[in-house]
Amino acid sequence: MIPNSAFITVGESPKNMADVAAGRAPGAAFAVLREGHFSRTLAMVELGKNPGSASERVAFAARSYISTWNLENIYLGEEFPGIEYLCVHAALRRRKRVAMLIHNVASLRRRLPLAGLRLGRLLDHVLCLSEQSRLELESQYGISPSHITVLGSRVDTEFFKPDPSVSIARQVCSAGAVNRDYATLVDAVRTLEVPTKIAADTAWRYSAGEMTLASLPDFVEMRSWGSYVNLRKLYAESAVVVVPLERAMLSGVTVVLEAMAMGRPVILTHNPYVTDFLRDGENGFFVQKGDAAGLREKIAYLLDHPQEAERVGARAREWVLERYAVQLYVQRILSAWA
């Protein structure tokens, strides 16, 4: 345990935690970090606070600061309410060693208070998710390289693992909503006429542009899969998992690592923020943004060469176990206090 310490974060709902305990959902870093690593854990959701409300974040930050008045080692697990906590810290200036995870360094909403208003100078250590993020923290935020740790990301490799009882079908799947370029995926599979299943609750709002559900080919199915257990089965039964991205930002990585942990070959839209997470041609494949023809070629290759798809998927599973298991992620977080 890190002595004299607090973990301040959004947290998970009781239902989500119950699902994790029952094996119905993957465990994330929160479930591990809250057990025995810090002296105290303060989570918005557990206190009945709404993370989407600015006023409730401010109130939570003030309450958390008072609750951690005599604690010196503080880990802020998200930018919000972490930034609100730093505002209180700027005013009261108790002696503290503060580390914060910044997920999206390209966001003006993060950069303005942390770099523009110089709240970042109150941080003793910054954690981020990719090498590109590290470079931007140095150049755009003015953070010293010695004060940055690249975490990568994490996936529950026990929840997401190959299931030999599920038969692999000649089908493509994808998942997620934010920053998805499903129009390019649909274009890629249109002439292949391969069954394509997209697990996304609100994807059109984020990703489809002029397309509508009614305009989809009849071999493309898009809907909610309802649960992590169903999503896991979708990965297991799909020959290829595609994560098509729209903008250059750190997104889609959760789906990528879940699918890789399942031993499935992944095709991911390339951008500088996601380069760390697979090795092109070895344990997955990159395509360029909007390149439907290139995506179609890679999908067709993996469908027509199932043994190669299995080889790539097996390497993907090994890659994830070596780098992105939850316990490894937690160890990298804790190393900020070493």
Two structure tokens written together for 287? 């395509």
| Span 65-99, pLDDT tens digits | 999 999 999 999 999 999 999 999 999 999 999 99
Dihedral (Cα; 131, 135, 136, 141), 10-degree rounding: 120
Residue type, 134: R
Beta-carbon contacts of 283 under 8 Å, excluding residues fewer than 6 positions away, are 260, 312, 315, 316, 318, 319
| Span 121-139, pLDDT tens digits | 999 999 999 999 999 999 9
**Per residue in 113-148, is it b (16+ CB within 10 Å) or e — as a string?**
bbbeeebbebbebbbbbbebbbebbeeebebeeeeb
| Span 303-326, pLDDT tens digits | 999 999 999 999 999 999 999 999
The stretch 101-125 carries a mean pLDDT of 95
User: In the predicted model, what is the mean pLDDT of the chain?
Assistant: 94
Do the Cβ atoms of 165 and 172 come closer than 8 Å?
no
CA distance 82 to 76: 5
Instruction: State the DSSP H helix or E strand holding residue 239, giving kind and residue range, or none if neither.
Output: strand 238-243
DSSP state at residue 168: P
In the block, tokens 């301040």 appear at 8
The pLDDT of residue 202 is 56
In the block, tokens 């942390």 appear at 114
The pLDDT of residue 203 is 45
Q: How many CB atoms sit inside 10 A of residue 204's CB?
A: 16
Dihedral (Cα; 70, 75, 81, 86), 10-degree rounding: 60
Q: Is the pLDDT of residue 260 over 80?
A: yes
The pLDDT of residue 204 is 47
Q: How many residues in the chain?
A: 338
In the block, tokens 């930018």 appear at 79
**This prediction's pTM:** 0.94
Give the domains, in start order, of the chain with CATH numbers. 2-155+325-337 (3.40.50.2000), 169-323 (3.40.50.2000)
Helix axes 306-323, 253-261, angle to 10 degrees: 110
CA distance 60 to 66: 10
Is the four-CA dihedral 194, 197, 203, 206 of positive or negative sign?
A: negative
| Span 194-253, pLDDT tens digits | 999 999 875 444 444 455 666 789 999 999 999 999 999 999 999 999 999 999 999 999
Give the three-state DSSP class for 317: helix
Is the four-CA dihedral 329, 123, 120, 6 of positive or negative sign?
A: positive
